[in-house]
Structure 1
Amino acid sequence: MDSGLSYTSAPYTLDSPELGSINGLVLSRLSRPAIHYFGGIPYALPPLGPFRFRRPRPLPLHYRYGTKSNPGNFTGNCAVCPQPAWLNSRNEEAWNEDCLHLNVYIPAGTAPKDGWPVFFYIHGGFLQWGNPNMTAESIAHLLDDSALRCIIVQPAYRLNAFGFIASAELQKEAVLDGHATGNMGFWDQRMALEWTHSSIKAFGGNPGNITVGGYSAGSHSTFQQLAHELYFVPDDKAVIKRVIMWSNGPGVQAKGIFEQQKQFDELLTVLGIPSDLPREEKLQRLRETPAKAIIDSQAKMSITEFRATTDDAFISPETMAHINSGDFARRMKRRGMKLMNGECRDEHNLYRTWRSAKNSYDGVYTRLCADYPEIAVSRYLEDCCGESKTLPSGMKDWQDLFGYAYANLQVHCLERGFHRALVIHGLQPGKDLLRYRIEWRADCCGYPPEWGVTHATDMAIWFWYPGLTTKDKQTLKPWNEALAAFIHGNDVKWGTNGVREARRLRSDGKTDAWDDNRWDEGIHVWNLLNGEDDILKSRL
């Protein structure tokens, strides 16, 4: 980091009638305050013991984090949900199932009249791993050195089995609780969002100006939060004003309980929990199983990925039908919601590295079925490989196909179908829908050069990494200013006309309007997987 952009930290205390007294940090550069930071603030009660695999519980009414004589101390980070390794990195010392915390970063200085706009950012990690603990120094650099001036809230949420396991046994229990099973991680995010809406004014934020966004699985989570709010939250209770979906989209209709049951049964088998036990005893033994054993078991399973469940409580069984009918777009339009959504050119290079498929057709089939309903996988691979199950031309091997398939289903193809439906039914491209394409990467992005402009290399752009050079910043200035305008709720000069065009950052650093040469492919795959055929609708 340039020594001129180094930050020092000192204690900072916030006294709030609503929250109590809490200790955080003030980060300064050259003796000038840049941001205030509060880390690891609980937004829900601990999901421990009998509350493992249950929906989050709100903090008690009038909960206080500290008093003037004994302030709460929030100068660290959020706890990290137990999780598998990513790129051979696994820090078990940081694991804690009591992870329903969030980090808050506030610009120093005088807030706008109505308070700072708020960016509620959901971290990625395939819904299996990750955490929100970016360094306070890196966010200070973003909010102090770029055009973006807003409060950033980053929640932790439950991941993998802890956040997304579902089964008939859990469903029966949830019904007795008055709830639905599955999607605990999404319910966590929602509770953190509601906490933000009710509490952010104490930090100088504007609860009426919240943008929800995320990267990768955080982007997919953002879509689910958007869809949930449109269909389960009345207009007068709505929280979300704008949505940012970086490198991910709606995907396909989530699996129903029948398919999720297969994974639950496999997990119990690997853990040695007999399948013929009574429901209550199964769940008790699963809740008593150490977190490490649950994590380690996932590598021994064929259905490795714990993902969303169509439950008609968080996720409607008609989500894709609502998009196709235009009702989704009409509801967005009525609420004045805007969307930024796009891709990197080479998403597949990173995607193929996560629990990569065995190098065969059957290996790719099995691996994709860990993420998606089997009918969707069957249709997609038949479209790619034909009835002969032949490796498509242009693919080096089956693992290469897996990377491309994963990227198409998560990002490239299904985003385009989503965009078309939104525009056909009322959203204005270049104004309500901001499509983008990234073909440039910074040297400080942190991934192997041979991966190209892959999934996550553009994090350096959006978060204004401290390692950006002066030349990089000149290249990225228009993008940073557009992001700032979007989060503030101002009009953005996006420079595109028509839904087939996307704002592009070219490999030479120039920005232009790109005529999308993957548009027809994307629409084809959307229709194949998210069309009107009833067979693709998840069964509860």
Structure 2
Amino acid sequence: MEYTKQPCLQSLGQHGYIQGVTLHEKATKKPFCHYFGGVRYAHPPPERWRMARKLSPSYSYGSKEQPGPGDGRTGICPQPRFLDAVSEESWTEDCFQCNIWIPIGDAPKNGWPVLFFIHGGFLQFGDPNAFSAAALLGDAQLDAIVILPAYRLNVFGFLYSSELEQDAAAVNENVGNHGFWDQRLALEWTRDHIHLFGGNASEITVAGYSAGAYSTFYQLTHDLTLPPDQSIIKRVCIWSNSPVAQPKLPTTAQTQFTELLTHLSIPLTLAPDEKLRRLRALPAQHLLQAAMSLPAHNQFRPTTDGTFIRSNLFASLDDGTLARRIRARDIRILCGECRDERNLYATWFPPREDSLPALRDRLLAEYPQPLVETLLKLYYPTGELPPGVENWRTDAFGRVYADMQVHKMQRGLVDALTAPMTAAAVQGRPPAVTATGGAVAGTTPPTSGSCHTDDSHGHGQEDDENLVYRYRIEYRLKCADKSIPPSWGVTHATDQYIWFWGNGERLEREEKSVVWTALVEPLKKFVHGDRGLQWGTKGHKQLRTLMPDGSVQIKEDVFWDEAMRVWKALREIGEPDSASVARL
């Protein structure tokens, strides 16, 4: 969609003023939203692999007479190219900014609710500038502030080693997982400053797609370790992703660090501070190229650091502790999948050859060896391709990768979060919260059109008892064809055009009615804290399904039993010194 822009001045209290823009739809002149882009949320660190800094009390964006620019874009962390990823000219290691989209009109008495969205990209690439919330606010009328932060990625955001531990200890700060700490700092900035934009800091929903959904899970689990008065997250959206296993331990991270030094011909006998000095002196392009060229461990991902990610995290998921904490904080979760996730996943560093050994090697780059060996026995017990799978390199890899990233592991997560409640119900104790929903129905969508809703399954329990809202998308918008081949079907990332109401592209009239009734109206209610989503599911083994013809049906999860077989087999392995998993 095309917009015209008018200047919009915004006061940020003691931090001065910024000047953003008010976006008007070019064809109708209708004001859609206010936009403030490239708004700094933190000071950059003094060196690579240090913690970013909260804005100082004296920091000023600009004066009223000379406001700081707020009509641009965030910085973009150096990253590998993928599909339409950005070019090197846009790179900067100072990527501590966010984009903010605000509804037109006066804020409600308590302020607008906030949707804090974390972009995806396997934690290796991506940026918030690829998303537009203008139509979501101006046309679909989400009536919420949308914030999208940039954060450090790949080797810049997730390098870990004993050398970095010593370096961080010398300045009394946390080490590793810098990308997650950046997200947290942006979230804290949102809590502390969103009232200046008319937002409600007590109504923050954290959402993410793919690697952003993976990040959302870890932001939630970190938030749950804090005292209630320091907690920020009210609700979460985990779209097309799920955690798999405890992230890698420092010992595995050290192996990756050593491989990087060796590849760069940096002697391992050097003192720790000299190793880091040489790494920090490298141009970003050189460092990234070396990191992505490592033969075995070229994906830099989170580490179990004991602070942001605790060593007992997955144990707490297994024994129900995490579920009880979520219920105690009254946190709701919206999660789900696309039908054909595998078709995009198959394109991310596929196996080098079309063989089972090559597939095994590729999976070892993502997951610990005991997990990979178990997976191969489950999927290919005879060592041959199963019926219907065309080849090892793309089809087999895409299927198992998508199962691990989304389909089977998300079902395992749902089971872990609902199992304590199910047990309580069996024993005759009413659970505090149940994973059920209300009747399927929709109020009038923004535009006319037809969308059949199948509520033949009847009414579930009241929405105010709901913990997990599950969905499945089998419907593809035409505007997705601009970036994702139609032959890939309803693959990973095609539904971003649904959640972001076209994400800058124009929806067709009949499509608006379909996606509004199916998902966007419930999302609006979810973000606003409305318990009456009328989701329609009856128990955690049902999914609200957007069908290929645009109808909404409540479907039994026919993949549940197979997912439990895989999930439980992997959980029985325990938590070895695991390689952390990829997230798109």
Are residues 511 and 367 of structure 1, via their aligned partners in 2, closer, same or farther at CA, if it must alter by over 3 Å?
A: same
Q: TM-score, normalised by structure 2?
A: 0.87
**CA distance in structure 2 between the partners assigned to 1:34 and 1:538 by the alignment:** 45
**CA distance in structure 2 between the partners assigned to 1:537 and 1:161 by the alignment:** 18
Are residues 382 and 423 of structure 1, via their aligned partners in 2, closer, same or farther at CA, if it must alter by over 3 Å?
A: same
**CA distance in structure 2 between the partners assigned to 1:27 and 1:485 by the alignment:** 24
Q: Is the 8 A contact 1:215 1:248 kept in 2?
A: yes
**CA distance in structure 2 between the partners assigned to 1:17 and 1:467 by the alignment:** 36
- How far apart are residue 532 of structure 1 and its match? 7.0
SS of aligned partner of 2:137: helix
Are residues 275 and 362 of structure 1, via their aligned partners in 2, closer, same or farther at CA, if it must alter by over 3 Å?
A: farther
**CA distance in structure 2 between the partners assigned to 1:314 and 1:373 by the alignment:** 21
- How far apart are residue 368 of structure 1 and its match? 2.1
Are residues 89 and 489 of structure 1, via their aligned partners in 2, closer, same or farther at CA, if it must alter by over 3 Å?
A: closer
- How far apart are residue 149 of structure 1 and its match? 1.3
Q: Deviation per CA, 1:505-525: give whole Å up to 9, x if none.
A: 011111011111110121122
AA of the residue aligned to 1:271: L
Picking from 547, 555, 558, the partner of 1:517 is: 558
Counterparts of 1:188-227 in structure 2, within 5 Å, are 188-227=182-221
Q: Deviation per CA, 1:207-265: give whole Å up to 9, x if none.
A: 0000000101001000010111112x111110000000110012211011111122211
Counterparts of 1:83-122 in structure 2, within 5 Å, are 83-87=79-83, 89-122=85-118
**CA distance in structure 1 between the partners assigned to 2:285 and 2:573 by the alignment:** 42
Asked if residue 428 in structure 1 is aligned to residue 434 in structure 2, the reply is yes
- How far apart are residue 372 of structure 1 and its match? 2.3
Q: Is the 8 A contact 1:254 1:372 kept in 2?
A: no
Q: Is the 8 A contact 1:122 1:221 kept in 2?
A: yes
Asked if residue 381 in structure 1 is aligned to residue 376 in structure 2, the reply is yes
Picking from 410, 415, 439, the partner of 2:410 is: 415
Q: Is the 8 A contact 1:142 1:464 kept in 2?
A: yes
The corresponding residue for 2:457 is none
SS of aligned partner of 1:219: helix
Q: Is the 8 A contact 1:317 1:537 kept in 2?
A: no
Q: Is the 8 A contact 1:349 1:403 kept in 2?
A: yes
Q: Is the 8 A contact 2:252 2:577 kept in 1?
A: no
**CA distance in structure 2 between the partners assigned to 1:531 and 1:168 by the alignment:** 30
- How far apart are residue 124 of structure 1 and its match? 0.4
Q: Deviation per CA, 1:10-46: give whole Å up to 9, x if none.
A: 1111123233111111112344432111111111111
Are residues 413 and 314 of structure 1, via their aligned partners in 2, closer, same or farther at CA, if it must alter by over 3 Å?
A: same
SS of aligned partner of 1:51: coil
**CA distance in structure 2 between the partners assigned to 1:536 and 1:79 by the alignment:** 34
SS of aligned partner of 1:133: helix
Q: Is the 8 A contact 1:52 1:162 kept in 2?
A: yes
SS of aligned partner of 1:83: coil
Q: Deviation per CA, 1:239-294: give whole Å up to 9, x if none.
A: 00000011001221101111112221122222221222111111110011110012
The corresponding residue for 1:8 is 4
**CA distance in structure 1 between the partners assigned to 2:110 and 2:278 by the alignment:** 51
Q: How many residues align?
A: 529
The corresponding residue for 1:348 is 342
Counterparts of 1:138-537 in structure 2, within 5 Å, are 138-231=132-225, 233-302=226-295, 303-358=297-352, 359-386=354-381, 389-399=383-393, 400-426=395-421, 427-429=433-435, 430=437, 431-445=466-480, 446-465=483-502, 466-478=505-517, 479-491=519-531, 492-531=533-572, 533=574, 535=576
Q: Is the 8 A contact 1:253 1:530 kept in 2?
A: no
**CA distance in structure 2 between the partners assigned to 1:265 and 1:248 by the alignment:** 30
SS of aligned partner of 2:167: helix
- How far apart are residue 389 of structure 1 and its match? 3.9
Are residues 248 and 538 of structure 1, via their aligned partners in 2, closer, same or farther at CA, if it must alter by over 3 Å?
A: closer
Q: TM-score, normalised by structure 1?
A: 0.94
**Runs of 4 or more off by more than 6 Å in structure 1?**
536-539
SS of aligned partner of 2:374: helix
The corresponding residue for 2:443 is none
**CA distance in structure 2 between the partners assigned to 1:496 and 1:520 by the alignment:** 18
Asked if residue 61 in structure 1 is aligned to residue 67 in structure 2, the reply is no
Q: Is the 8 A contact 2:43 2:55 kept in 1?
A: yes
Q: Is the 8 A contact 2:213 2:240 kept in 1?
A: yes
AA of the residue aligned to 1:317: S
Two-structure CA RMSD over aligned residues (Å): 1.8
**CA distance in structure 2 between the partners assigned to 1:203 and 1:352 by the alignment:** 41
**CA distance in structure 2 between the partners assigned to 1:94 and 1:157 by the alignment:** 14
AA of the residue aligned to 1:256: L
Q: Is the 8 A contact 2:213 2:241 kept in 1?
A: yes
SS of aligned partner of 2:208: strand
- How far apart are residue 62 of structure 1 and its match? 4.3
Moved more, 213-222 or 22-31: 22-31
Q: Is the 8 A contact 1:344 1:438 kept in 2?
A: yes
Q: Is the 8 A contact 1:310 1:538 kept in 2?
A: no
SS of aligned partner of 1:298: helix
Are residues 389 and 177 of structure 1, via their aligned partners in 2, closer, same or farther at CA, if it must alter by over 3 Å?
A: farther
**CA distance in structure 1 between the partners assigned to 2:29 and 2:478 by the alignment:** 30
Structure 1 gaps, min length 5: none
AA of the residue aligned to 1:291: A
SS of aligned partner of 2:53: coil
Q: Is the 8 A contact 1:321 1:532 kept in 2?
A: no
**CA distance in structure 1 between the partners assigned to 2:401 and 2:171 by the alignment:** 36
Identity in percent: 45
- How far apart are residue 379 of structure 1 and its match? 2.0
- How far apart are residue 108 of structure 1 and its match? 1.0
SS of aligned partner of 2:336: strand
Are residues 121 and 190 of structure 1, via their aligned partners in 2, closer, same or farther at CA, if it must alter by over 3 Å?
A: same
AA of the residue aligned to 1:461: I
Are residues 213 and 94 of structure 1, via their aligned partners in 2, closer, same or farther at CA, if it must alter by over 3 Å?
A: same
Q: Is the 8 A contact 1:36 1:105 kept in 2?
A: yes
SS of aligned partner of 2:367: coil
- How far apart are residue 58 of structure 1 and its match? 1.5
**CA distance in structure 2 between the partners assigned to 1:529 and 1:61 by the alignment:** 48
